[in-house]
Amino acid sequence: MIGADQITLKLRRANTRIQHVEILSNRTTMAAQIMEGKQPEEACNLLPLLFSLCGTAQLQAGLEAFEQAMGYDISPAHQAARQILLDVEGISEHITRCLVDWPNLAELESNIAIVRDLRNLLSSFKDLIFVGGKDKIGGGELFFDTATLHNHVDVLIHKVDASVFEQSHTDFLAFSGDDFSNWLRTAKISPAQCLRKWQEAKVYNSTWDTPNTLPSIDKEYLTKKMDGEDVNTFIAQPTYKGQTCETGPFSRQLHHDLIKAMVEKHGFGPLSRLTAKLIDLAQMLQNLKQHINMLDQESALFHTRALHEGLGEIEAVRGRLSHRVILDPENDNIKRYRILAPTEWNFHPDGPLKTALLECDATDPETIKQRAHIAVMALDPCVACDIVIEDI
């Protein structure tokens, strides 16, 4: 299994302050080469099995790249079906983080039973959309009942609203800054307790720079970088026009009214970023019904000219995911396969995590460790972190 992401933070302190931050990753960024020599269909069967994180997004990025390379233009109905499954995967990841990982880090009781129940419900969606629950290049065979899907969404929303928001997620999306402050002060559900405990312990106290969010990158620029001789360096430590960038829930929700209010009051640090994850979850719940209603669109597959190369870009829960593929025109075997994942953007050695931790008070090792763990969680909801503190 590839993609069991973990980073190691080496924090060096002098005079009770963090003076040096080194970010090391265990990821094998060239792991996608395992696809080379295989047929596209075989690679698509492997993708969700090989990658432990965001398997649906990995598959969809691969499908999009192969469809572009092979000259397939999938239908609006299939686009809606895939977006539903991306929403489902995103919801599953978000609830796992805020109901299990957050409480574990805050030394509060986690909600494993609730999460297990919700994840079982979420895993049923693919079987309610595709025959055999299987998508494929060009689009899997659709077989769905809109009423049944809406019923499943209603059950899902009821359970998530009760366990995460303690009210309707639509009301949460409409929160002002004052509404959120009141919720944070009074709500009894686990996510609010965690955020409140960390705020009271003052573990948010650090300076985060204004984020350099990852823009929509010109496809010609990205394919040139992913096909270039320096691809290993680019994929391991990507930059855009010489700048490090970040991607994910905070970038997606930065212009939401509540997040703008949070930034104005609390800055760009963990409280604003963790709140953005709750907004992201609420937005995905809201989008589910809209995407289900789009399943009744045209479902025919169209063919265009095969290019024998393709670029698939998916907005996964963790951020922008890019797959680049080149096929052999003689037999359609995969000549080249490269993947650029959100982790490499968000945890660039000179990225936002480094600047957020530099000069932090490190008088108490346990406090700085907790602050660093929360900073990692605020950047990427799915990455484990080992922290080493050394004295200079």
* Residue 7's pLDDT band (cuts 50, 70, 90): confident
Q: Rounded CA gap, 173 and 164, in Å?
A: 13
Phi and psi angles of residue 45, each rounded to the nearest 5 degrees, phi first: -70, -30
Gap between the Cα atoms of 185 and 193, Å rounded: 9
Asked whether the predicted pLDDT for residue 124 surpasses 70, the reply is: yes
CA distances from 27 to 93, 106, 118, 167 (A): 20, 27, 29, 39
CB distance 251 to 315 below 8 Å: no
The rounded distance, in Å, linking the Cα atoms of 373 and 362 is 14
* b/e 147-184 (16+ beta carbons within 10 angstroms → b): eebeebbeebbeebbebbbbeebeebbebebeebeebb
- E strand map for 235-377: 302-303, 309-316, 319-327, 334-340
- pLDDT at site 104: 94
Q: Which pLDDT score is estimated for 109?
A: 94
| pLDDT at residue 89, as a whole number | 97
Query: Residue 377 above 70 pLDDT?
Result: yes
Cβ–Cβ under 8 Å, residues 145 and 128: yes
Q: What is the average pLDDT across 224-233? A: 93
Q: Is the CB of residue 253 less than 8 Å from the CB of residue 283? A: yes
pLDDT at position 271 over 70: yes
The answer to whether 93 and 54 have CB atoms below 8 angstroms apart is: yes
Percent of the chain surpassing pLDDT 90: 81
CA–CA distance from 172 to each of 89, 150, 177, 298, 377 (Å)? 21, 21, 11, 34, 21
- Nearest CA-CA partner of 280 in 369, 358, 173: 173
pLDDT value at position 384?
76
Q: Above 80 in pLDDT, residue 351?
A: yes
- Give the ranges where 267-328 is alpha helix by DSSP (H): 270-293
Cβ atoms of 125 and 149 closer than 8 Å:
yes
Choose between 51 and 178: higher pLDDT: 178
Task: Work out the pLDDT band at 57, boundaries 50, 70, 90.
Answer: very high
Q: Give residue 29's pLDDT.
A: 64
pLDDT for position 381: 60
**What's the pLDDT at 365?**
87
pLDDT in tens, 126-146: 999 999 999 999 999 999 999
Per-residue pLDDT for 53 more than 90? no
Estimate to the nearest angstrom the gap between the alpha carbon of 297 and the chain centroid: 28
**Average pLDDT value for residue range 201-206:** 79
Would you say residue 204 has pLDDT above 60? yes
Round the average pLDDT of the chain to a whole number and report it: 93
Instruction: Round to the nearest angstrom and report the end-to-end CA distance of the chain.
Output: 37
Q: Residue 28: what pLDDT?
A: 67
191-222 in b/e burial notation, b at 16+ Cβ within 10 A? Answer: bbbbbbbbbeeebbebebeebeebeebeeeeb
Please determine, for residue 60, whether its predicted confidence score (pLDDT) is greater than 80.
Answer: yes
Domain ranges across the chain? 73-211+246-303
Identify the pLDDT of residue 202.
85
As a whole number of angstroms, the distance between CA 373 and CA 262 comes to 21
**% of the chain residues with pLDDT over 70:** 96
Reported confidence tier of residue 50, pLDDT bands at 50, 70, 90: confident
Tens digits of residue pLDDT in 296-319: 999 999 998 899 999 999 999 999
Task: Tell the residue number behind the tokens 């660039």, with chain if given.
Answer: 348
Tokens of 82: 């895939």
Q: Tell me: pLDDT of 230 over 70.
A: yes
Report whether pLDDT(363) > 60.
yes
Q: Does the pLDDT value for residue 64 go beyond 60?
A: yes
Q: How confident is the model at residue 32 (pLDDT cuts 50, 70, 90)?
A: confident
Q: Would you tell me how many other CB atoms lie within 10 Å of the CB of residue 305? A: 6
Distance of CA 360 to the CA centre of its chain: 27
Confidence of residue 266 (pLDDT cuts 50, 70, 90): very high
**HEC per residue, 113-146:** HHHHHHHHHHHCCHHHCEHHHCCCCCCCCECCCH
Q: Is the dihedral of CA 84, 87, 88, 89 positive or negative?
A: positive
